[in-house]
Structure 1
């Protein structure tokens, strides 16, 4: 996948032709930057003035709890964003860090370039501005989805809430999640050992089947309303 393919997948450039995207990047003063595996893209507390779009690789947003524990907030893949909510908030510091999971390439666009009237009257700029609001809503809903997991009272409820959402998004009862056990525990904010035990019990109880990060929700779980 080339960089233009990633931008075409991004909600920010939805409805804008590839040719127009290439021309708009110059007007938007867009810049590319590469990061090594584990390198920080944004640190918690940074001021962020640019919308970052993942071109290649993947990254994760993390936050430190008051006890110093790292919690995974979300994952980012080509076409996804880094710190779009913070960039649009004008002056608020980033509430989380963004770190490269693998070698990463990010396109940064100054938020002021998106919000300002285009001096060259680019055909797609008005569409871009509308897409920005859609992107902000999309990111807010991603955080809402994670909060749905966090507010569940038990580990079992957290797991089933998360797996049910992934099943609905993929449209299949068997799917692969992007987490290993440690990352899954961080995402659900539970102890890793406790999570592993609960997964084994859920398999015993006929709710799920799994092998590593491939899961299947069994009919008993699909029919139950966990919300």
Structure 2
């Protein structure tokens, strides 16, 4: 775990906590780690979770699966970000999505009960972590509402324009990389991959954007 202290300390969950405090808190929170190979399940829909999961290396896809195994990607979790925190905080609530390793991935598990129950000494850095967790939950609610905006668009083009506009605004630039490959983006927007690819090519030919793999550059036209 020592090899990942920098990743942990730079995460939003540990914002404002010194490296020495981080090491102390990892012991206090009964932290453990586990490694997963690409495409393996970290958590499955229906699981009961009691830990906040922090990605130390690699990335994780949160996916919603129907009865027939069709997947809809909810979001992608990068190194330094957390997942499953909402379900961990609501005791007895089965997980509504599955977490799948998008690549070789290592995950840190933090006991949510120890996070939410302050130390007997009411240490300041523990209180900061609780505030950080609340901030993350609020931010993810905003991201969820943003996705609803994308999905509420009626056409594949409108969904793409909504998503790409939001990513450009988030990056503060018309040139940016997205976290998804083509199939993952189609799943995220709940559209057919072929139709989406055709629409991207049409928009490129119309001068609205340029792209190469997961890099996009929007035009002012």
Common topology (TM > 0.5): yes
Partners of 2:106 and 2:82 in 1: how far apart? 12
Q: Give, in angstroms, the shift of residue 67 of structure 1.
A: 5.5
**Which residue is equivalent to 2:5?**
4
Q: Give, in angstroms, the shift of residue 206 of structure 1.
A: 2.0
Partners of 2:204 and 2:163 in 1: how far apart? 16
**Which residue is equivalent to 1:42?**
43
Give the 5 Å matches for 1:1-227: 2-65=3-66, 68-119=69-120, 121-220=122-221
Partners of 2:85 and 2:207 in 1: how far apart? 40
Partners of 1:127 and 1:213 in 2: how far apart? 36
Q: Give, in angstroms, the shift of residue 141 of structure 1.
A: 2.1
Question: For the Cα contact (< 8 Å) 1:85–1:139, is it kept in 2?
Answer: no
Partners of 1:181 and 1:25 in 2: how far apart? 37
CA, structure 1 residues 122+32, in 2 after alignment: closer, same or farther (shift >3 Å)? farther
Q: Deviations over 1:100-154 (max 9, x none)?
A: 1111111111110011121354331111111111121122222222222111111
Runs ≥4 in structure 1, deviation > 6 angstroms?
none
| Unaligned segments of structure 1, at least 5 residues | 221-227
Aligned-residue RMSD, C-alpha? 1.6
TM-score, length of structure 2 as denominator length: 0.94
Partners of 1:36 and 1:12 in 2: how far apart? 25
